[in-house]
């Protein structure tokens, strides 16, 4: 058994400040995890927090982690939040927080298969359903595996890794995958990060369709927030941060959807977000306490009264 380190919430004070909680308000924690953000929002006086997580374990552990009658837990992906909130008559909400990625509980539990340092089955499914990492790696063709590792891991030598994976099939354990990636890329003591990091990240992002979830989650938050409602999104790598940055730029009118040479009527919808803040990174003291926070970035913005640009709910 691996020791489970409780998840240390990242940029928590900054998230609570960005959501500017007024006592009695309703906030969504789209990524409940170990309930760190939820606890802080309730501590700041939220009248109600709706905690979403796609991982059934996170939802099952929720009431023990945050025993508070103001918490409503929903086992659902955050891309579905507007639909789930509407069904419960909870729309619109005053704030939405998203803390993208995996929790320490998921990473440290070897049997979930997310970790390259603790051996476990090749799983990596947050929702505990759908295609596992073993099914993907043992059946996809080499070009597809290389594309995933290049696009979602930004691994410059994705083809070498994919070739080594195909040659070693069938794979069943995370330790096997980590060892073959290290062998394919070369690994020596003193390297800043384990060469398997990028490949594991890529496979996880692919299996859980994480970038698409983020795109759809931002749109679902846009449809869920009231005028003046606040959005706070924490990401952990540049692929995710780029999606949030672009979304807020476009939605706030900083990147016009139409050209300034075109008639106003064709210039695109009215901005649905304003007060887009400069991104925040963890302070030195937070990094000293929690090195896992090193690449975290927080972006916040405020919902305007304009209609959501994309009314279509995600499937």
Ligand X SMILES: C[S@@+](CC[C@H](N)C(=O)[O-])C[C@H]1O[C@@H](n2cnc3c(N)ncnc32)[C@H](O)[C@@H]1O
**Interaction with ligand X in 11-40: which residues (CB under 6 A)?**
31, 33-37
How far apart (Å, rounded) are the C-alpha atoms in residues 137 and 143?
A: 11
Smallest CA-to-CA distance from 313 within 241, 232, 221 is with 221
The greatest distance separating any two alpha carbons of the chain, rounded to the nearest whole angstrom, comes to 64
Distances (CA, A) of 156 to 49, 66, 146, 164: 42, 42, 10, 15
Contact present, 290 and 302 (Cβ < 8 Å): no
Q: Is 103 in the site for ligand X (CB under 6 A)?
A: yes
Per rule CB under 6 A, count of chain residues that contact ligand X: 22
Minimal distance, residue 285 CB to ligand X, in Å = 18
Residue 54 is given by DSSP the state S
155 binds ligand X (CB under 6 A): no
Q: Which is nearer to ligand X, 54 or 230 (CB)?
A: 54
**CB neighbour class for 145 (10 Å; exposed up to 12, middle 13-18, buried from 19):** buried
Question: Is there binding between residue 282 and ligand X (CB under 6 A)?
Answer: no
Closest CB to ligand X among residues 54, 206: 54
Residues 44-73 that bind ligand X (CB under 6 A): 52-55, 58
- Name which of 26, 55, 54, 53 is nearest 41 in CA terms: 26
**In angstroms, what is the minimal distance from the CB of 303 to ligand X?**
20
Cα-based angle 56, 222, 209 (whole degrees, multiple of 5): 45
Stretch that binds ligand X, among 74-82, 110-118, 158-166, 193-201 (CB under 6 A): 74-82
What's the closest the beta carbon of residue 249 comes to ligand X, in angstroms?
A: 22
User: Is the CB of 302 or the CB of 314 nearer to ligand X?
Assistant: 314
- Helix (H), strand (E) at residue 73: strand 71-75
Q: Which is nearer to ligand X, 93 or 161 (CB)?
A: 93
114 binds ligand X (CB under 6 A): no
**CB nearest ligand X: which residue?**
36
Please, what is the minimum distance in Å from the beta carbon of residue 81 to ligand X?
8
Least distance (Å) between residue 167 CB and ligand X = 32
Exposure pattern of 165-189 as b/e (b: 16+ CB <10 Å)? bbeeeebeebbbbbbbbbebbeeee
Choosing from 62, 95, 101, 120, the residue that interacts with ligand X (CB under 6 A) is 101
Shortest distance (Å) from residue 63 CB to ligand X = 14
Q: Residue 271: what are its φ and ψ, rounded to 5°?
A: -55, 135
Residues 21 and 126 sit within 8 Å (Cβ to Cβ): no
| Residue 99 in contact with ligand X, rule: CB under 6 A | yes
Binding mask 216-245 for ligand X (x = CB under 6 A): ------------------------------
Nearer to ligand X, 168 or 287 (CB): 287
Residues making contact with ligand X (CB under 6 A): 7, 9, 31, 33-37, 52-55, 58, 77-79, 99, 101-103, 126, 213
């Amino acid at each position: 058994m691996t020791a489970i380190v409780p998840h240390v919430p990242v940029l928590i004070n900054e998230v609570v400040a960005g959501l500017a909680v007024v006592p009695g308000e309703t906030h969504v924690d789209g990524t409940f995890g170990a309930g760190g953000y939820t606890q802080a929002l309730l501590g700041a006086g939220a009248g109600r927090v709706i905690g979403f997580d796609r991982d059934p374990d996170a939802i099952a552990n929720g009431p023990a982690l945050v025993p508070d009658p103001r918490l409503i837990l929903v086992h659902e992906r955050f891309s579905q939040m507007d639909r789930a909130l509407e069904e419960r008559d909870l729309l619109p909400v005053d704030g939405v927080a998203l803390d993208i990625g995996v929790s320490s509980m998921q990473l440290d539990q070897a049997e979930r298969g997310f970790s390259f340092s603790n051996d476990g089955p090749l799983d990596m499914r947050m929702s505990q359903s759908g295609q596992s990492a073993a099914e993907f790696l043992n059946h996809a063709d080499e070009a597809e595996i290389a594309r995933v590792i290049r696009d979602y891991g930004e691994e410059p030598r994705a083809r070498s890794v994919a070739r080594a994976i195909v040659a070693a099939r069938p794979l069943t354990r995370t330790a096997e995958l980590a060892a073959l990636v290290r062998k394919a890329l070369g690994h020596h003591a003193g390297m800043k990060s384990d060469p398997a990091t990028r490949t594991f990240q890529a496979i996880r992002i692919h299996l859980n369709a994480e970038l698409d979830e983020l795109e759809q989650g931002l749109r679902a938050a846009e449809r869920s927030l009231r005028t003046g409602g606040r959005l706070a999104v924490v990401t952990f790598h540049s692929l995710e941060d780029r999606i949030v940055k672009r979304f807020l730029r476009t939605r706030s009118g900083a990147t016009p959807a139409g050209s300034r040479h075109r008639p106003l009527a064709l210039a695109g919808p009215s901005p649905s977000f304003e007060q887009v803040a400069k991104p925040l990174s963890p302070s030195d003291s937070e990094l000293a306490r929690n090195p896992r926070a090193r690449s975290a970035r927080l972006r916040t913005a405020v919902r305007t009264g304009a209609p959501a640009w994309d009314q279509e709910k995600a499937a």
